[in-house]
Amino acid sequence: MKKNRLTTWIIGGMILGLMVGYLCHSQAHDAAEAKVIAGYFSVVTDIFLRLIKMIIAPLVFATLVSGMARSEPGSIGRIGLKAMTWFLSASVISLLIGMLFSNYFEPGRSLALPLPDASATTKLATGSLNFKDFLTHVFPRSFFEAMAGNEILQILVFSIFFGFALSSLQGKGPRVLVHAIDETANTMLKITDYVMRFAPIGVFAAVAAAITVQGLDVLTTYGKFLGSFFLALAVLWLVLISVGFLFLGRDVFRLIGLIKEPMIIAFSTASSEASYPKTIEQLEKFGVSSKITGFVLPLGYSFNLDGSMVYQAFAVLFIAQAYGIHMSISHQITILLVLMVSSKGMAGVSRASLVVVAAVLPMFNLPEAGLLLIMGVDQFLDMGRTATNVLGNSIATAVVAKWEGVENESQVIPMESAAHAEHLPVLAKVANG
């Protein structure tokens, strides 16, 4: 009941933010004044996101090391291979859905707006998106620098080394350290509960700020584009849940019930970071081992952005349609392959999905200026793709846990006792085998 009340408050905050934002937008004299008003709302959102960010680094480190300290060395490689198999398959499906819906509805051809000059630029930092820099960036120069910057992949790399070293040591000292890390993970989950009590306020402010600047008129202007994009996301949701059902059975619906809060938070704030701590907590309540959650989920946030895949395919073809540039099927397939590779370097890049699209457009002689058409509604697009990313990563983590089995650990937390999960050691929450 307590969890249901929080969900209700979050939804209520989103609806209230919509109403207040619309009122502020309609009362503002011009766009500059609307931005000033939205800035006051953004202060509240920034505070909430800062509270979330302070949790992420210690939570990733503690949950992964806690699980690895009692794991076999070969298990991480096995889990990683299973996770990447799922990620690559999901990425291909997501890109294909984006391509199919964009071709079918052709939202770019019916856009009644003047086109930006094809020579205009968006000034997005596409230079930071290349495989060499991404690969180098994965490995931390300093553990403390990675922690301070919330660099999830870098923290993941250090945690793997730390966990392996801890599991190989014998004696009372390492056992005490493992126990301390277990308790740190439990404490971080408790802090997550405290921070989430501010979620309705953060959600209200985020939605109010977005609507104050954009208004609701933009939804009419871009109606076909937004409608076809969200329909594509809905189909992707159906595919992900259906595949999840094949592996998890009816438990996939219990999983969706558990992750509805982080999905709503992700949707309303358009921030994956905002939903990350709560997603970890809910996956462990579902019964996924901390070892698997701590490894697969951070990996998924860099390699399994299903909603972003749909968006990128949609955006590229939308721009081609808007400028009347014909793209053959072979060209489109090539674009999908390039997006597949380019998107894997998105971690740590500001406005990542837009940057990926901006980097890919010149490769196929498409005007980067077309992104200016999308930027006006990107906040709404970002809300949908971020919530989809949470769904995709949650199902992926649960399925990998099912594949892995983890029969040698404790039994799954039953549904009726999930409310007491916070009193159990982190490592007692294991995969639903």
pLDDT of residue 204: 93
Report CA-CA distances (Å) from 19 to 15, 190, 215, 428: 6, 33, 10, 44
What pLDDT score was predicted for residue 189?
85
Cβ atoms of 312 and 357 within 8 Å: the answer is yes
Per-residue pLDDT of the chain in tens (433 residues, 90 and over written 9): 455 688 889 889 999 999 999 999 999 988 899 999 999 999 999 999 899 889 888 988 998 888 777 666 677 788 889 999 999 999 999 999 999 999 999 998 877 677 777 676 666 666 555 667 777 888 999 999 999 888 888 898 898 889 888 888 877 778 889 899 989 988 988 898 899 889 999 999 999 998 998 888 777 778 888 999 999 999 999 999 999 999 999 999 999 999 999 999 999 988 888 888 999 989 989 999 888 888 898 888 878 889 989 999 999 999 999 888 988 888 898 888 888 877 765 554 546 788 788 878 888 888 888 888 888 788 889 999 999 999 999 999 999 999 887 533 433 333 333 333 443 333 333 333 3
* Kind and range of the H or E run holding 142: none
Q: Encoding tokens for residue 251?
A: 């438990």
> 188: which 2 tokens?
């971080």
User: What is the pTM for the complete model shown?
Assistant: 0.83
CB atoms within 10 A of CB 431: 24
Q: What is the pLDDT of residue 163?
A: 86
The single residue listed with the structure tokens 């989920």 is: 297
Structure tokens at 75: 């298990």
Burial grade of 143 (CB within 10 A; 0-12, 13-18, 19 or more) = middle
Cα–Cα distances in Å, from 393 out to 135, 316, 390, 400? Answer: 22, 24, 5, 10
Q: Give the 3-state DSSP-derived string for 104-127, with helices as H, strands as E and coil as C.
A: HHCHHHHCCCCCCCCCCCCCCCHH
The pLDDT tens digits of the residues spanning 20-63 come to 999 999 999 888 999 999 999 999 999 998 998 898 889 889 98
Residue 421 to residue 286: CA distance in whole angstroms: 10
Q: What is the pLDDT of residue 260?
A: 93
> What is the predicted pLDDT for the residue at 170?
73
* CB environment 240-256: b (16+ within 10 A), e (fewer): bbebbeebbeebbebbb
Radius of gyration (Cα) for the chain, nearest Å? Answer: 22
